[in-house]
Chain A
């Protein structure tokens, strides 16, 4: 049964929230603002509070979530988001702060920002960190801005090329292009890793940077990473680490030690601040000394120690590229990430990394007889990329069908059709928070689907069967654009 739009529940005169009476002498709005400046109608719904509660409760019941079950969406690190994070972010001493309060009235907030900057810097082995970017892609964009400023500062503005592997996330080329860089692709080799010879050919005096995801989007560690960084540096370029897959490296290894110059974190992935149905995120960026002068303002700095420690905003950074957020980034997400790191400590961090690897390799080993593993059944890191190529060729069943069929078993599908270099890709990231029992249930479902592909392919191809809607007509969605409620349109009645 579908849930009507909130607009369709509207009844004239109904209202939810109660407001205080006006307790100051009132002057007619027309007199204060002029009749021309006052709107004639405000077409918002008129509903009761109970209408609102039921409506959004019903909507929530039509949504899959980590709290509800396994969410093995590769590259997205859908781990359990501890409830204490939410409690932390709701403390009035954090939630009810204005960003422009005098700094002496927000010393606790600045302490959190400062400590989180420092902890992230340590975790990735770099020199400085900013928390300003609002998402991974925002962090990438910031990094490209800093790379541009760095080369310009050295009189090398001609460096206008960013080299990106063909397996990269789409945000990488989009972020580079946003800064007017030309994007040059490099292919992966037969082992699913950066092809060193192809990289060498791509590198020249016009290259500004190389953007690399490590572990890469095939879930494999770039074993030649030391040579890669050295070669890019020799050509005068910088190396960027897309940190979407940082979960695999926590406490085990650090991008800064490998030679990367700059990276972004996704606090909403690695550090368990929730994804919220698509955001908000925080794409903190860490840099080595070379890029530190270009970080956005302000940074949080500390003077003194112990009880006399004092925190401040540092705006006096003459080479800074400027600001990229209205204020200081997503502070309440920083509180959550701080909470998460403090609840785990150094040993906990390494356990996260190790269990992420163990879980992914377990899924790989158990499913390798049923699905092709991209680039051979070798040790993967925190995620494994399977291919449904064999099912497609033999049974006409695609990765999309298998994804949809998983819904009938109560699981969220893996990421499909990414990375682009793996045909019929199914990218599975179980994360460290799933138990062996949950993984076994998922594996059993995947095996049953593999068998259905052989014996009853139509049940897979027509899936999902148990969801609130079946497959949607995406073509019609584009052809007959319906992007907002308009009263009287027949199909919304």
Chain B
């Protein structure tokens, strides 16, 4: 090969690199491992984690332990999907393009919205992008966000807002629901959008019909973050005139993976078709009139519009969106409804037996909740969790670090993966630790 290139020594290829910055010594990296020893090394590291196949997990807060049918992994890991690039060349990428078109269709069906993009990084960045889209559409400087939105998402929205010169205003909650009276007083003609979450961070249902009306009365957009599993049962945001629906799609067939990679889904009304961020796939025909799929509305995107693009997003979460597509097909209409119903029943059963433990209080009587709920315990929830871990139980999320006034509260999540025996074991262990 060197002869074909016309060089005698490989070093000649390095001539364009100034000698002073050519490395004289090897990088200081750990020694290479052969495959067998590499896997052993990785398994040893994995062994230092208490994974949730060997432990009972009652954590939620945006990342959920849902059942993942075997077909998802089997199909998603096919090299034809796994090792393809972004489908810029449609003739040799019809498989991924059609899968994305189906993903968009399924997300629209689930949320009752008109349009879905091909995916964003996660719910948090999806919400931040929705906020920026609203500021640019309305030419208004303020994003109002309910403090009952996942605090991790709010932090990301804040980062994006501050770097772009917009102001994030947080609206308080009352009795675990967004305080509508205060929200009414905060939203004004400076408000670009109102962001809320359904079910909200505490698992409770917010009044998104009213939240949307409050936004619209001031000419602001309504942006709702939602749990896609809940939509197996809950009235979808599209039925409440919501403008942009965002959510975390990890629940739809992907592992928790210590929080990544994730899947931000992003759906909106038809009228935003020229202004929303991210890739989108459309159907068309080829020269023989055969149906085919291609990336479309490309003039919104960075590689064509550069600094005038609607977003800088390029690489997205195609493979995670594929998992979500397969999940929604495998579960289908009846299955997704079934999963949602199981979550609802198990969470409510759990809330009843946990709040029956002396010293523990559950949700406010009037609140409606889906698969997560708040309990208040005597003492420090983080300390209780440390002791529960000895019983191979990962307890709920202590809320003190996010809401100082809730230092004795934890957010408990119960999905369809928890049997009655699991829930009873958690309750017994919690009762014992509280007595201790």
Contacts of A123 in B (CB 8 A): 27, 29
User: Known contacts A254-B23, A327-B258, A481-B282: does B49 contact A94 (CB below 8 Å)?
Assistant: yes
Task: Fill in one digit per residue for B335-356: 1 if any A CB lies within 8 Å of its CB, else 0.
Answer: 1111101101110110000000
Contacts of A359 in B (CB 8 A): 1
Residues facing B in A375-410 (CB within 8 A) are 379, 381, 403-404, 407
Identify B261's interface contact among A5, A37, A280, A357, CB under 8 A: A280
Among the 9-residue stretches B122-130, B139-147, B172-180, B183-191, the one with 4 or more Cβ atoms under 8 Å from chain A is B122-130
> Quick one: closest A residue to B99, CB to CB?
A59
Contacts of B385 in A (CB 8 A): 102
CB distance from A11 to the nearest CB of B (A): 10
- A14 to B93: give the CA distance in the assembly, Å: 29
> Are B13 and A484 in contact, with the CB atoms below 8 A?
no
Identify B303's interface contact among A97, A169, A323, A473, CB under 8 A: A169
Among the 9-residue stretches B211-219, B318-326, B428-436, the one with 4 or more Cβ atoms under 8 Å from chain A is B318-326
> Are A174 and B85 in contact, with the CB atoms below 8 A?
no
A342 on the B face (CB < 8 A): yes
A148 on the B face (CB < 8 A): yes
> Are B306 and A98 in contact, with the CB atoms below 8 A?
no
A471 on the B face (CB < 8 A): yes
Identify A91's interface contact among B46, B82, B124, CB under 8 A: B46
A109 on the B face (CB < 8 A): yes
- A96 to B336: give the CA distance in the assembly, Å: 22
Identify A135's interface contact among B26, B51, B95, B121, CB under 8 A: B121
> Quick one: closest A residue to B166, CB to CB?
A180
Residues facing B in A84-127 (CB within 8 A) are 84, 86-102, 104-109, 111-112, 115, 119, 122-123
CB distance from B225 to the nearest CB of A (A): 11
Contacts of B91 in A (CB 8 A): 404, 407, 464, 467-472
Identify B318's interface contact among A44, A176, A279, CB under 8 A: A279
Identify A88's interface contact among B16, B42, B116, B294, CB under 8 A: B42
Task: Fill in one digit per residue for B110-136: 1 if any A CB lies within 8 Å of its CB, else 0.
Answer: 100001101101111100000010000
> Quick one: closest A residue to B154, CB to CB?
A323
A488 on the B face (CB < 8 A): no
Task: Fill in one digit per residue for B309-327: 1 if any A CB lies within 8 Å of its CB, else 0.
Answer: 1011111111110100010
Contacts of B308 in A (CB 8 A): 177
Identify A252's interface contact among B14, B47, B368, CB under 8 A: B14
> Are B32 and A134 in contact, with the CB atoms below 8 A?
no
A145 on the B face (CB < 8 A): yes
B59 on the A face (CB < 8 A): yes
A349 on the B face (CB < 8 A): yes
B153 on the A face (CB < 8 A): yes
> Are B255 and A472 in contact, with the CB atoms below 8 A?
no
Contacts of B315 in A (CB 8 A): 134-137, 266, 268, 275, 278-281, 283
B8 on the A face (CB < 8 A): no
Residues facing A in B67-101 (CB within 8 A) are 67, 69, 71, 73-75, 77-96, 98-99, 101
- A97 to B259: give the CA distance in the assembly, Å: 8
A47 on the B face (CB < 8 A): yes
Among the 9-residue stretches A199-207, A217-225, A446-454, the one with 4 or more Cβ atoms under 8 Å from chain B is A217-225
A304 on the B face (CB < 8 A): no
CB distance from B358 to the nearest CB of A (A): 22
Contacts of B109 in A (CB 8 A): 42-44
A370 on the B face (CB < 8 A): no
- A69 to B47: give the CA distance in the assembly, Å: 36
> Quick one: closest A residue to B287, CB to CB?
A470
CB distance from A415 to the nearest CB of B (A): 8
> Are A15 and B334 in contact, with the CB atoms below 8 A?
yes
User: Known contacts A98-B394, A277-B318, A483-B280: does B233 contact A107 (CB below 8 Å)?
Assistant: no
A491 on the B face (CB < 8 A): yes
Q: Which of A49, A62, A252, A471 has the most CB of B within 10 A?
A: A62
Contacts of A89 in B (CB 8 A): 257
Identify B17's interface contact among A23, A71, A252, A347, CB under 8 A: A252
- A268 to B330: give the CA distance in the assembly, Å: 28
User: Known contacts A277-B84, A323-B159: does B307 contact A46 (CB below 8 Å)?
Assistant: no
User: Known contacts A183-B307, A343-B33, A472-B91: does B335 contact A332 (CB below 8 Å)?
Assistant: no
Task: Fill in one digit per residue for B24-58: 1 if any A CB lies within 8 Å of its CB, else 0.
Answer: 00111111111100110111111111111111010
> Are B314 and A296 in contact, with the CB atoms below 8 A?
no
Contacts of B304 in A (CB 8 A): 170
User: Known contacts A122-B29, A381-B16: does B77 contact A15 (CB below 8 Å)?
Assistant: no
> Are A16 and B81 in contact, with the CB atoms below 8 A?
no
> Are B80 and A61 in contact, with the CB atoms below 8 A?
yes
B397 on the A face (CB < 8 A): yes
> Are A326 and B314 in contact, with the CB atoms below 8 A?
no
- A469 to B83: give the CA distance in the assembly, Å: 21
> Are B47 and A108 in contact, with the CB atoms below 8 A?
yes
CB distance from B312 to the nearest CB of A (A): 4
> Are B45 and A98 in contact, with the CB atoms below 8 A?
no
> Quick one: closest B residue to A343, CB to CB?
B38
> Are A325 and B156 in contact, with the CB atoms below 8 A?
yes
Contacts of B95 in A (CB 8 A): 58-63
B18 on the A face (CB < 8 A): yes
Task: Fill in one digit per residue for B257-286: 1 if any A CB lies within 8 Å of its CB, else 0.
Answer: 111111000000000010000011111111
> Are A39 and B234 in contact, with the CB atoms below 8 A?
yes
A73 on the B face (CB < 8 A): yes
- A102 to B104: give the CA distance in the assembly, Å: 36
> Are B94 and A170 in contact, with the CB atoms below 8 A?
no
User: Known contacts A136-B314, A469-B90: does B233 contact A474 (CB below 8 Å)?
Assistant: no
> Are A492 and B123 in contact, with the CB atoms below 8 A?
no
> Are A379 and B15 in contact, with the CB atoms below 8 A?
yes
User: Known contacts A275-B85, A280-B320: does B284 contact A476 (CB below 8 Å)?
Assistant: yes
B248 on the A face (CB < 8 A): yes
> Are A331 and B102 in contact, with the CB atoms below 8 A?
no
- A25 to B351: give the CA distance in the assembly, Å: 12
A129 on the B face (CB < 8 A): no
- A71 to B348: give the CA distance in the assembly, Å: 52
Identify B80's interface contact among A33, A45, A68, A175, CB under 8 A: A68
Contacts of A57 in B (CB 8 A): 75, 78
> Quick one: closest A residue to B314, CB to CB?
A137
B331 on the A face (CB < 8 A): yes
- A226 to B71: give the CA distance in the assembly, Å: 53
Q: Which of A104, A115, A258, A470 has the most CB of B within 10 A?
A: A470
CB distance from A491 to the nearest CB of B (A): 7
CB distance from B246 to the nearest CB of A (A): 12
CB distance from A337 to the nearest CB of B (A): 12
> Are A357 and B13 in contact, with the CB atoms below 8 A?
yes
- A178 to B83: give the CA distance in the assembly, Å: 30
A324 on the B face (CB < 8 A): yes
> Are A413 and B89 in contact, with the CB atoms below 8 A?
yes
Contacts A56-B99, A64-B80 known; 19 new A-B pairs at CB < 8 A: A5-B105, A7-B102, A16-B332, A33-B370, A45-B332, A93-B46, A98-B63, A98-B258, A137-B315, A177-B307, A251-B26, A275-B84, A277-B319, A278-B279, A325-B124, A333-B260, A347-B26, A469-B290, A472-B90
**Can you report 8 residue pairs joining A to B where beta carbons are below 8 Å apart?**
A10-B332, A44-B329, A63-B84, A98-B394, A108-B47, A276-B322, A326-B156, A477-B284
Sort A-B residue pairs by CB-CB distance and give the 9 closest, nearest first: A93-B46, A327-B259, A276-B319, A99-B259, A345-B32, A67-B79, A108-B48, A63-B95, A278-B318
